[in-house]
A and B are shown apart, each in its own frame.
Chain A
């Protein structure tokens, strides 16, 4: 890399900014290993006879969340480093909104569904 580019890159950077924390090839491979194991586990679990069947959705949820965590840490490099504080806070807010949206919608729609009059009764009343 030429010195010109180094000078350009250094502009506006704080001390210690040249420290790359973006992981190495090894960390990507570790992430890949975890992700492959978790993916295969969830494909296996979805059609397994070994697991108590009402528990399978919960197991799939746990495996999916674990794999999302693996991707965040090993691929997106979310960490507890000082320059990541804002990213972590934004992520926490994002997870909050996603949870509100998904579970809120499901609860509201299930509730409305429960309270709705059966379709044939509704048809009778309209006559």
Chain B
């Protein structure tokens, strides 16, 4: 039995309460996880507002008139693919592989930007046909919910650029890879929120 294998098996035997302080990465991940859950609670409030107001169209366009399923499917595909490439990028960060980090995170960035541009084109189309957020309570709730998600994606993309700059200047220090780890959690959590958005807002519109 090699030294590392011995270390592994003894780690299984030592009870959790006797193992000493948790590694910084676990603690940082827990703190960021709490932030993400509070962020999801904000989205829950917006979802509740949308669910209550989605029928109040004030004589304006209804959800079924406005939403195109094919457009949403492409948006979903972009976000899902970016989630997986972000996962590959996190593996590259853990492995300390600079080139494949840049590669996967660049793909993640491009997919995130294409998601955002699809969303912006949808919003500008809606505004151009007079279905802006001031038209009805339904549209106010829609733009708040989907716009907040889009804002999160935008902030995530800014964060990704900052992280890539940090890799370029600081290298794979533990601090940098912890931040990358938190970025990955943020990005995957946004994808979970999007599942709720496309199910309730877009697919719910055509029922």
Give A residues with C-beta under 8 Å from B: 1, 5, 8-9, 12-17, 19-20, 22-25, 28-29, 31-32, 35-36, 39, 42-43, 46-47, 53, 56-57, 60-61, 63-64, 67-68, 71-72, 75-76, 82-83, 86-87, 90-91, 93-94, 97-98, 101-102, 104-106, 109
Chain B residue nearest in CB terms to A66: B195
> How long is the Cα–Cα vector from A63 to B49 in the complex, in angstroms?
22
Contact A76 B189 (CB under 8 A): yes
Contact B195 A71 (CB under 8 A): yes
Chain A residue nearest in CB terms to B69: A43
Contact A22 B91 (CB under 8 A): yes
| Least distance between A11 CB and chain B CB atoms (Å) | 8
Majority SS at the chain B contact face: helix
Contact A25 B91 (CB under 8 A): yes
Question: Chain B interface: which size bin?
Answer: 35 or more
B22 contacts A by Cβ under 8 Å: yes
- Could you list some 27 contacts between A and B, CB below 8 A? A1-B172, A5-B173, A12-B21, A15-B10, A15-B20, A19-B8, A22-B90, A22-B91, A23-B87, A23-B91, A25-B91, A32-B80, A36-B80, A56-B207, A57-B207, A64-B195, A64-B196, A68-B192, A72-B192, A76-B189, A82-B16, A83-B26, A90-B34, A90-B37, A97-B44, A102-B51, A105-B49
B101 contacts A by Cβ under 8 Å: no
> How long is the Cα–Cα vector from A62 to B87 in the complex, in angstroms?
25
B152 contacts A by Cβ under 8 Å: no
**Given A31-B84, A83-B26, A109-B52, A16–B199 Cβ distance below 8 Å?**
no
B14 contacts A by Cβ under 8 Å: yes
